[in-house]
Structure 1
Amino acid sequence: MVKYARIMWRRALILLLLLLAYAGLAFPADILRWTDDKGVVHFTDNLHNIPEKFRSSVTRIKAKETPRGVEAQKPIVYDKASVPFQRRGTVVVIPATINEKATARFVVDTGASYTMISRETAKELDIDLQKTLPTIPFQTANGVILAPLVTLSVIDVGGLQVRDLTAAIHDVFPDPSVSGLLGLNFLSNFRLDIDTNSGVLHLERK
């Protein structure tokens, strides 16, 4: 009788472990949200990824599968971001994402009215350069040129987004790793603070 009870207990334990394993696979883990001492919001699914001094302020976001026929929740739009930058001579270059698919590296140029992207970046975004597009004149070292204008659905820098942004297509920089420049039609939406000691650009939405 005792032996039978042990067998049944082991079977029940194995079944419980299998159910727990299935639950871990079938349902996504909760997301933990925390804010550092600079006001930057972070997300993780592991408490150990959060510095101990910030764990008391963690907010747990219940993970739920999106039911069929229900629109997925829109992504969170942030008000602050801190992004690392690189120096290229006298200019500051930061990473960004264009149209939620193309990674880019932009020069921060507060003296430019328009944001610009290179022709190679335009091709990566599947922009038809043979199509007749509106143009705008630009003064260059070789004289005035007419640069095509396009509307980018979104540019994202560290989670900060500007949508429906007008950009000119022109190869401003000879360095192919630079995708273009961020002009005032993007930058004027934010307060900028360049931390030269740590190599970080802080942005805060106005």
Structure 2
Amino acid sequence: MGQQRFDPRRNIILVEARIEGKKNRWTSLQMALDTGASLTVIPWSAAEMLGLDPARSRRRVRFMTGSGMEAAPVLTVDAVEVLGVQISRVPVLCHDLPQRSLVDGLLGLSFLKHCRISVDFKSGILSIEPSRR
């Protein structure tokens, strides 16, 4: 199980995620824990750095943003690792968040649904462990 402290007074919980793409290429991203996001979201530049080509993805999804409906490609990365918990074959949405964002991407349900998560606001501790199957 991995744990980290967070500031319960803030409106965001930040985590560092390591993403694995093709040929064992890894990158680290600052992400917001987002249980409202169906998919984990990474920027296009990260997908390309991982050896993936978002423009060639056959799967696209439509989603609502602050500026209206948008469509973006969905890819599957080899792994996502957060706080020592690694999940394989995670679908991710390739979409650049606004530049004013505090994060590179969103850690969504495509990763979180494979984990047991505890968010202790009183103590300011986030705990993540893989689900037992």
TM-score by length of 2: 0.80
Q: Which residue of 2 aligns with 1:183?
A: 108
For the pair shown, the structure with the greater C-alpha radius of gyration is 1
8 Å CA contact 1:121–1:179 kept in 2: the answer is no
What residue number does 2:19 align with?
98
Distance 1:91 1:123, change over 3 A: same
Q: If the length of structure 1 is used for normalisation, what is the TM-score? A: 0.54
Identity percentage of aligned residues? 31
Which structure dedicates a bigger proportion of its chain to helix?
Answer: 1
Which ranges of structure 2 fall in alignment gaps of 5 or more residues? none
User: Any conservation in 2 of the 1:84–1:94 contact (CA below 8 Å)?
Assistant: no
Please identify, of 192-201 and 97-106, the stretch whose mean Cα deviation from structure 2 is larger: 192-201
- Matched with 1:113 is 38
What whole-Å deviation, never above 9, does each CA across 1:105-124 have from its counterpart, x for those lacking one?
Answer: 11100111111111222232
**Displacement after TM superposition at 1:90 (Å):** 1.1
- Alignment coverage as a number of residue pairs: 127
1:21-44 CA-partner distances (Å, limit 9, x unpaired): xxxxxxxxxxxxxxxxxxxxxxxx
2:98, 2:4 → 1: CA distance? Answer: 22
Higher strand proportion: 2
Kindly provide the amino acid, as one letter, of the partner of residue 49 in structure 2.
Answer: E
Distance verdict in 2 for CA 1:108–1:133, change over 3 Å: same
Q: How many angstroms apart in 1 are the aligned matches of 2:102 and 2:48?
A: 14
State whether residues 97 and 104 of structure 1, in contact with CA within 8 Å, keep that contact through their aligned partners in structure 2.
yes
Structure 2 Cα separation of the partners of residues 156 and 189 of structure 1: 12
